[in-house]
């Protein structure tokens, strides 16, 4: 009989308590095998709607359907044991009303087994965040550059370059914190603004293109592994060059097939 203690998942309250403590580590993941690797190192894993662009070749995240998020969310949950799994609510699944948001968030949680959902928006989404959290749905908020609103914003533009707008961003962060979000992603935001928000609100901030002073950091896994065929954003540090490694492996395989050196003696049955 094994005496090894069971692995317990990181919980929402554990993440919330990390405010001002050890930095929170997070990455995106969209499938079981990469999630199993990330799971050994990350505090939470985000099944981001960025999967529409990274996995399915979409130009933006706007076209990602709910069922696609659920399918990838299930895979990530199956491939992990310890990290908190957070699933993005895609565009059009929560903006209409708090009731619609609750129905779709509950569907995500029931059908994936994830521990929380994430939605974009500050003050305008505070009522919805409060509605969800009061009904047992943990919510991670997302302010600053919000990709689902890229058409309104005029593209993927860094937020806070004009200091006159800082008050709006501060109010957004305060509003989601007061509404009950357990953490907030700050994306594409000038460093001093992100640092100021981190100091002034009581929930953890998770930076992506923000500040090292944030309570945690997140990147898209494929970006930091060098799998993005395009030039990655300025805020991405590339920790591996898997794209070129895969290219070489596929090229070598193709050469071996064409020269009939694969399969070789070690790969056939006698």
Q: Which residues carry out catalysis?
A: 187
Residue located via tokens 């961003």: 169
**Contacts of 167 by beta carbon, 8 Å cutoff, 6+ apart:** none
d(CA 137, CA 73): 16
Which ranges constitute the DSSP H helices of the chain? 12-16, 32-38, 51-54, 66-78, 98-112, 126-133, 150-153, 166-179, 191-200, 221-224, 242-258
Residue located via tokens 């990838």: 72
8: tokens are 């317990």
d(CA 112, CA 135): 18
Q: Is 223 annotated as a binding residue?
A: no
**Contacts of 128 by beta carbon, 8 Å cutoff, 6+ apart:** 94, 97, 98, 101, 119
The SS3 call for residue 142 is: strand
Q: Is 49 annotated as a binding residue?
A: yes
**Contacts of 22 by beta carbon, 8 Å cutoff, 6+ apart:** none
**Contacts of 259 by beta carbon, 8 Å cutoff, 6+ apart:** none
Q: Is 163 annotated as a binding residue?
A: no
Q: Is 88 annotated as a binding residue?
A: yes
- Which neighbouring-strand residues pair with 187? 144, 208
Picking from 35, 132, 33, 135, the residue whose alpha carbon sits closest to that of residue 89 is 132
Binding site as annotated, residues: 49-50, 88, 118, 120
* Binding site members for Mg(2+): 49, 88, 120
Q: Which residues are annotated as a binding site for 3-methyl-2-oxobutanoate?
A: 49-50, 88, 118
């Amino acid at each position: 009989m094994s005496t090894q203690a069971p692995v317990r998942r990181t919980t929402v309250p554990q993440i919330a308590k990390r405010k001002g403590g050890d930095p929170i580590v997070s990455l995106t993941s969209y499938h079981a095998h990469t999630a199993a690797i990330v799971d050994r190192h990350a505090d939470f894993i985000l099944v981001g709607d960025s999967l529409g662009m990274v996995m399915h070749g979409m130009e933006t995240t706007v076209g990602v359907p709910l069922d696609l998020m659920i399918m990838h969310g299930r895979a990530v949950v199956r491939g992990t044991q310890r990290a908190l799994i957070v699933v993005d609510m895609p565009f059009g699944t929560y903006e209409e009303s708090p009731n619609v948001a609750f129905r779709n968030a509950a569907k995500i949680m029931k059908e994936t087994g994830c521990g929380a959902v994430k939605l974009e928006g500050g003050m305008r989404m505070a009522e919805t965040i409060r509605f969800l959290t009061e009904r047992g749905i943990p919510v991670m908020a997302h302010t600053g550059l919000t990709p689902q609103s890229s058409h309104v914003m005029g593209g993927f533009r860094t937020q806070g370059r004009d200091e006159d707008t800082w008050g709006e961003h501060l109010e957004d962060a305060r509003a989601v914190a007061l509404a009950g979000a357990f953490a907030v992603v700050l994306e594409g935001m000038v460093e001093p603004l992100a640092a100021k928000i981190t100091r002034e609100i009581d929930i953890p901030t998770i930076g992506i293109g923000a500040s090292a002073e944030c309570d945690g950091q997140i990147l898209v896994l494929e970006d930091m592994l060098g799998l993005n065929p395009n030039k990655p954003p300025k805020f991405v540090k590339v920790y591996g060059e898997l794209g070129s490694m895969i290219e070489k492996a596929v090229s070598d395989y193709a050469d071996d097939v064409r020269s009939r050196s694969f399969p070789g003696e070690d790969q056939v049955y006698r």
